[in-house]
Amino acid sequence: MLTFRELFVFCCFCVIIFSDSIQCRAAEQRYSQNETHEKISVFANTLLRVKNLVAGAVVVVKNDEVVYRQGFGRRNLSSEAKVDNNTLFGIASLTKAFGAATLVKVIEEMKNVSLKTPISDYLDDIEFSTEQRTKYANIEDLLAHRMGLPRNNFLRLNQNFNRQTIPKFLKYFEEIADFRGSYVYSNIMYGLATLITEKLANNTWEDVVTEKILRPLGMNATKFSTRSSGDAENIARSYVEQEKKRLVQVPFSFKRKWADIGASGSIQTTANDISKWMRFLLNGNTSLLCNIFKVRNFAIQTKNRFHRPEMPVEYSNSQYALGWNKGHYRGYPIIVHTGTSWGDASILLLFPEEKLAVFGVLTGSDTKHLKRILLAQYVADLYLGFEPWINATSIKDFVVPKHKSKCPRPAARRSTIGLFPRNFPECRKTITKPNNISILPSNFSSYDGIYNNILWGNITVTYNTESQGLFFTYGFATFQLLPRSRKHRSFAAKGIGEMCFMRLSSINFEYTRNKGITSMTIPSFERSMPPTFLKIS
């Protein structure tokens, strides 16, 4: 028989449990369905207005049902056509999950190959800058971003660079971090995975994704930027914010070229179609997410980075595998990925244990991912039963607090590729800066010439006597150089013609009294290892 003390403790325990259950039910019923939908609509439209965005869409899947699906804003600034659930949006790097899932499925259907099979077994001509990577790198290394190589994203401006020629460039990618011991996000490694998919399936990457993923899920409206002309009437145009919050449209002809490497970010989809992908991802113990992070032993790369919190609630993603980040939001385990590509911003936030998925997409600039994350967290809070920490009133004035780091930021390594022959690696250990550096000439015509880097290729600098402007051309892109100092050593650049939406913040020239202008370095092309181009004519 229970003593009075034991009975009292038991009753207190029951009261606490009962109280918590009442609070949970109350939280789940905080707002009716109509109230929830209205709140999302008000918040999304407010976000577009106060954050200089053009269009957006939100999709929510809960317990295998699409509980919310709505578009916002205008398809483009030149018409009043509204976004709807059939409007195509570019989802940028959310494509990586499609590419990874497709490649996994292709490999599972084959014999004698696996994700751990060295890449050299698939591609005979593959060569990395280190023997270790050439011999041991496998598909898991590519899909978990653990190659330790620089991003070199702007190589996509090079007309000779595409998914088929990626192997020819990789041997000049100098390492910036340890192989398999670091996390370095890389679109080009997913481009290499695209090429491997084509080799194994003996088909184009787009056709393989369609066959393995899109068609079985009924995602019939989904398209690829690489195959689209951009003439579709119901498509959300991409915009980049320039000076004085001016929005500039990104030409689809550029988007098609930029997306050529496939799995890094070439899919366009609709709210209706993405809801089918979301339901597939959350579909019980056989879901793709369970396979990646629980059932299967896929390589998961820990980022080993600490980020100062940007919001008053817990939000982290510390692990990566097969096109997904794993982390936590408000204590809930989450799997998440974002996508960013020249005026397109997207996010897919999943709560596997809650059977909840939130998708958001925006057109406009969101370089720090803040706008889409705020949208996804607001919607997630409503469906998790929380009072959202941000709302349509506070969103206007919310900014991430700026903190000055107490630790000095390590200087970016300067690329030595192209400065010295590969046969003499000892020459690349150090670079001695000439002592006779002086102020560069104010006569811009002396900058004329061709500059070369063994990885990046040629840049042509020209001086236009009529406009008295200095320009440089790399691949299919031409920029006007704008002096940032009286010394005329440091320049910014703005795109010309089709590239008018693009800005480069840092281009530097070197000059000696004896030889004149000798080289140009472009940190804007690759911050971790800025490429230097030697003047050859």
Domain ranges in the chain? 38-100+203-397, 445-535
The predicted pLDDT at position 4 comes to 44
Name the band, by pLDDT with cuts 50, 70 and 90, for residue 405: low
Residue 516: pLDDT band with limits 50, 70, 90 = confident
CB under 8 Å to 478, separation ≥6 — which residues? Answer: 471, 472, 495, 496, 497, 499
Backbone angles phi, psi at 140, to 5 degrees: -60, -35
The CA-based angle 205-208-213, given to 5 degrees, is: 120
Is 62 a residue whose pLDDT tops 70? yes
Rounded CA-CA distance 533/537 in Å is 12
E strand or H helix that includes residue 136: helix 131-136
Residue 444 DSSP code: G
Q: What is the pTM of this model?
A: 0.87
User: What is the band of 291 on the pLDDT scale with cuts at 50, 70, 90?
Assistant: low
SS (H, E, C) 213-257: HHHHHCCCCCEECCCCCCCCCCECCCEEECHHHCEEECCHHHHHH
Q: Do 279 and 69 form a contact (C-beta atoms < 8 A)?
A: no
Instruction: Output DSSP code: residue 82.
Output: B
pLDDT for the residue 232: 78
Confidence band, pLDDT 50/70/90 cuts, at residue 45:
very high
| CATH number for the domain running over 445-535 | 2.40.128.600
3-state secondary structure of 423: coil
Give the separation between CA 208 and CA 191, rounded to whole angstroms: 15
Q: What pLDDT, in 10s, does the model give residues 254-268?
A: 999 999 999 999 999
Task: State how far the Cα of 86 lies from the Cα of 198, in Å rounded to an integer.
Answer: 29
Residue 420, pLDDT score: 38
Mean pLDDT, rounded, for 384-399: 92
The angle at the Cα of 240, spanning 239 to 245, to the nearest 5 degrees, equals 110
**pLDDT tens track for 297-338:** 555 667 665 667 778 899 988 889 899 999 999 999 999 999
- The C-alpha angle with vertex 280 and arms to 279 and 284, in degrees rounded to 5, equals 90
512: confidence class by pLDDT, cuts 50, 70, 90: confident
pLDDT of residue 429: 34
- What pLDDT score does 50 carry? 96
Q: Are 139 and 196 in contact (CB under 8 A)?
A: yes
Predicted confidence (pLDDT) per residue in 468-507, tens digit: 789 999 999 999 999 887 666 899 999 999 899 999 999 9
> By C-alpha distance, which of 529, 418, 428 is closest to 151?
529
240 pLDDT more than 80: yes
Q: What are phi and psi of 521, to 5 degrees?
A: -120, 135
Among residues 150, 151, 148, the alpha carbon closest in space to that of 179 is found at 148
Q: Which fold has domain 38-100+203-397?
A: Beta-lactamase (3.40.710)
Residue 267's closest CA among 201, 167, 337, 185? 337
Residues ≥6 apart with Cβ < 8 Å to 514: 436
Pairing label, strands 247-249, 344-351? unpaired
**Backbone CA torsion sign across 116, 122, 124, 127:** negative
The answer for 488, left when phi > 0, alpha when psi is -120 to 50, beta otherwise, is left
pLDDT digits (tens, 9 = 90+) for 147-192: 999 999 999 999 999 999 999 999 999 999 999 999 999 999 999 9
- Return the number of other C-beta atoms located less than 10 Å from residue 188's C-beta: 24
